[in-house]
């Protein structure tokens, strides 16, 4: 027997109630069904009285039970929204976060439509590269990642979104030759291993550790960037990074001598983004 959309959601809300203390809530059930039906939130409400097919109703029940065990909705449905694009995601890549859209906004605000060479370093699903390319079609964008598995996901998204982005397997700059860029964007692994005990269990269980954790208290990638980025930036080129809310002082120390550094707060008033421009006297 099938259900209407609202009946299916009410069943899910009741089923999930015992799991509330684990962070499993009604919003996840709504996102789950919306993703399955390829609806946005408004369309979900408009279809409250629509009968779901028996197949959808059965699959929704299976998916809700997976969600109750902590599996992220985005992995269950293979969908994540980032900067207006519906992207494919699975456990080979991190789920794009809403707060990273603020980093994209900063890059776009700083840099106009003129032709630019841009590198998305550690591209993962390709979310940042795709968002930038859709807004700046003249930019020549490269997305690189150490993980070949992640690049397979990025390639799928690039093809689905019909954007022209070059993808390259590389451990940071290792395989990028001597090319220099006007803009480098990097949202690297920046979580310290010691922070595992305060993290969401579903993130630890399902998302790729390689894309989450870095050595040296989460600073290992930034240490390498501070040493190498200047060699891959054009004169006046800019490096943009996302970082952990407690890492500003360390990044100031790492980048302060060679670069002009500006930090930016996110919507929650935490310092979470950095722009670094090479000092002219420090340019090699």
Give the Cα separation of 92 and 211 in Å (integer): 9
Phi, psi (deg, nearest 5) at residue 145 = -155, 145
Is 123 part of any known ligand binding site? yes
- Residues 2 and 52: beta-carbon distance below 8 Å: yes
Residue 162 CB-density burial (10 A; 0-12 exposed, 13-18 middle, 19+ buried):
exposed
β 271-278/259-265 pair status: antiparallel
Give the Cα separation of 128 and 165 in Å (integer): 11
Handedness of CA 270, 273, 277, 283 (dihedral sign): positive
Tokens of residue 181, six digits: 């860029």
Phi, psi (deg, nearest 5) at residue 91 = -70, 0
Instruction: Please report where in the chains the tokens 């590389």 appear, as a residue.
Output: 170
Is 124 part of any known ligand binding site? yes
Tokens of residue 194, six digits: 């010691």
Sheet with strand 271-278: strands edge to edge: 165-169, 140-145, 117-121, 181-186, 233-242, 271-278, 259-265
Residue 220 CB-density burial (10 A; 0-12 exposed, 13-18 middle, 19+ buried):
middle
Is 126 part of any known ligand binding site? yes
Is 125 part of any known ligand binding site? yes
Is 145 part of any known ligand binding site? yes
Give the Cα separation of 142 and 90 in Å (integer): 22
Is 189 part of any known ligand binding site? yes
Instruction: Please report where in the chains the tokens 């269980």 appear, as a residue.
Output: 205
Residues comprising the binding site? 122-126, 145, 187-190
Please give the annotated binding residues for substrate, written as ranges. Answer: 187-190
Q: Which segments are annotated as binding site for S-adenosyl-L-methionine?
A: 122-126, 145, 187
């Amino acid at each position: 027997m099938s259900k209407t959309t609202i009946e299916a959601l009410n069943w899910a809300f009741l089923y999930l109630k015992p799991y509330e203390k684990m962070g499993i809530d009604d919003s996840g059930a709504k996102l789950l069904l919306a993703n399955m039906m390829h609806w946005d939130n408004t369309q979900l409400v408009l279809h409250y009285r629509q009968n779901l097919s028996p197949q959808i109703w059965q699959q929704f029940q299976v998916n809700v039970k997976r969600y109750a065990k902590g599996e992220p909705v985005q992995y269950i449905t293979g969908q994540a929204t980032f900067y207006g694009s519906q992207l494919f995601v699975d456990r080979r890549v991190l789920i794009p976060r809403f707060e990273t859209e603020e980093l994209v906004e900063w890059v776009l605000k700083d840099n106009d439509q003129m032709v630019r060479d841009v590198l998305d370093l550690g591209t993962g699903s390709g979310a940042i590269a795709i968002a930038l390319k859709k807004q700046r079609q003249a930019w020549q964008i490269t997305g690189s990642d150490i993980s070949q598995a992640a690049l397979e996901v990025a390639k799928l998204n690039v093809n689905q979104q019909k954007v022209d982005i070059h993808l390259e397997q590389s451990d940071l700059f290792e395989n990028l030759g001597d090319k220099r860029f006007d803009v480098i964007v990097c949202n690297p692994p920046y979580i310290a291993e010691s922070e595992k005990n305060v993290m969401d269990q579903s993130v630890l269980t399902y998302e790729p550790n390689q894309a989450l954790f870095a050595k040296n208290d989460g600073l290992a990638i930034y240490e390498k960037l501070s040493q190498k980025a200047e060699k891959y930036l054009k004169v006046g080129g800019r490096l943009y990074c996302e970082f952990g809310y407690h890492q500003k002082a360390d990044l100031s120390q790492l980048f302060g001598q060679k670069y002009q550094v500006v930090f930016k707060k996110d919507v929650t008033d935490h310092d979470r983004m950095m722009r670094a421009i090479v000092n002219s006297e420090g340019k090699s």
